[in-house]
Amino acid sequence: MDIQITDRRYNELLEREEIRFEIVHEGEPTPKIRDVAKLLCATINSKPELTVIDGIESQFGMARSRGFAKVYKDVSRLRNVEPKHILAKNFEEESEEESGEEE
């Protein structure tokens, strides 16, 4: 899985960086949000807890997906701006995985 940044700009009003990207995933299904977040964080040198993947959209018949991510300066700003369903989609998966490992 390879990731390429197609657009990157800073939104001063919301104090975040907005990133559009493209993922090539030959022979694999559309990647999960947390996997994309980890790869994106490694590519742009950001922290996973400050990175939110807004969405990933696959292109029909191609092993290519496009997405939109937001990187915040601090956690309090992220929690104030992002809707609950986006936060759940991005961060609740980690909590479920952690609780599943304990059993």
Ordered alpha helix ranges (H), the chain: 33-44, 75-81, 84-102
25: enclosing H helix or E strand: none
Nearest to 76 by CA among 17, 11, 15, 34: 15
Confidence of residue 28 (pLDDT cuts 50, 70, 90): confident
Domains of the chain (ranges, CATH numbers): 2-102 (3.30.70.330)
Residue 71, pLDDT above cutoff 90: yes
Residue 5, pLDDT above cutoff 90: yes
